[in-house]
Amino acid sequence: MKRIAAFFDIDGTISREGLISEMFKKMIKYELIDNSKWYNEVEPAFTRWDKRVGDYDIYLQKMVDIYTETIKNTSAFHIAYIAKKVIEQKGERVYTYSRERIRWHKKQGHVVIAISGSPIELVSEVSRMYGMDDYRGTVYQVGSNGIYNGEIIPMWDSQSKRKAVLEMAEKHGIDLSQSYAYGDTNGDYSMLQLVGNPIAVNPTRELLSHIQNDSQLKEKFTVIVERKDVTYRLNINTLDLL
């Protein structure tokens, strides 16, 4: 008999903060990234997004580009150490809804899997903290000398996540038609499409637009928004985007 799984994105779905941004700040603290990189390149994009006049993806891409460049020729040991510290300090800053859903799925005996665009060092730590069964994240490849070589296997895009879900389904003997997936951005869309129970958690406008335009998919979608200490379940059919 095939098993039921729950696939979770992390940033914005489980975690209330972008883990890559916390990683970035820690790398500044440990002097792996020069402070000027934040003030000259990242902070302007962050400020525009924080004021809701800029795009979060632009802010995120700035950090990812600098992170990618920084870890070239850096020891994997150092990055793993920083990732561990980030999750120790920030790993419990999660949405109540998502934390409870992880607990519920584990109680049901479901396979719980993290699929995230964050560096795999962070994803592995989150997976361990919440007792997940498996995980996939963006792989920054390490050479035989233990140093990052600059090559990347991404997991932030929709197609990569789709491939990861299908691989996990085969690996764990999963019935996708009975399974669940949780995501918040358009990068999670293909992952959500594959399962019988897709849940959009604090979704972006782009993801909601995709769902509303998919007449077959939207009928099985659940939309969850958590604000302060209240969780709302929204009806996708009557939802009016302003």
The set of long-range contacts for 33-37, using a CB threshold of 8 Å and a minimum separation of 24, is 33/66, 33/67, 33/70, 37/66
Q: Which domains does the chain possess? A: 5-234 (3.40.50.1000)
Strands annotated E in 156-206: 180-183, 197-201
Residue 175 or residue 155, greater confidence: 175
With a CB cutoff of 8 Å and minimum separation 6, the contacts of 85 are 26
Q: Are 134 and 169 in contact (CB under 8 A)?
A: no
pLDDT at 80 over 80: yes
**Whole-structure pTM value:** 0.90
Q: Are 126 and 202 in contact (CB under 8 A)?
A: no
- Phi and psi at 11, nearest 5°, equal -65, 120
Collapsing DSSP states into helix, strand and coil, what is residue 224? strand
Cα–Cα distance between 93 and 68 in angstroms, integer?
25
Collapsing DSSP states into helix, strand and coil, what is residue 223? strand
pLDDT at 92 over 80: yes
Tokens representing residue 192 in the block = 């959500």
- Residues of the chain above pLDDT 90, percent: 50
Q: What is the mean pLDDT of the chain?
A: 89
- Residues of the chain above pLDDT 70, percent: 100
User: pLDDT tens digits for 190-241?
Assistant: 999 999 999 999 998 888 888 888 887 888 999 999 998 899 998 887 777 7
CA dihedral 44, 45, 48, 49 (to 10 degrees): -150
Cα–Cα distance between 30 and 47 in angstroms, integer?
23
Collapsing DSSP states into helix, strand and coil, what is residue 22? helix
Residue 242 pLDDT level (bands cut at 50, 70, 90): low
Task: Give the mean pLDDT of 175-186.
Answer: 95
Cα–Cα distance between 240 and 209 in angstroms, integer?
10
User: pLDDT tens digits for 27-47?
Assistant: 888 888 888 887 888 888 878
User: pLDDT tens digits for 96-118?
Assistant: 999 999 999 999 999 999 999 88
Residue 179 pLDDT level (bands cut at 50, 70, 90): very high
In angstroms, how far is CA 224 from the centroid of its own chain?
Answer: 16
With a CB cutoff of 8 Å and minimum separation 6, the contacts of 133 are 111, 112, 113, 172
Query: Which CA distances in Å does 104 have to 6, 99, 107, 111, 233?
Result: 10, 9, 5, 11, 17
> Locate tokens 């007792």: which residue?
131
| Helices 120-129, 76-90: crossing angle, 10 deg rounding | 40
Residue 56 pLDDT level (bands cut at 50, 70, 90): confident
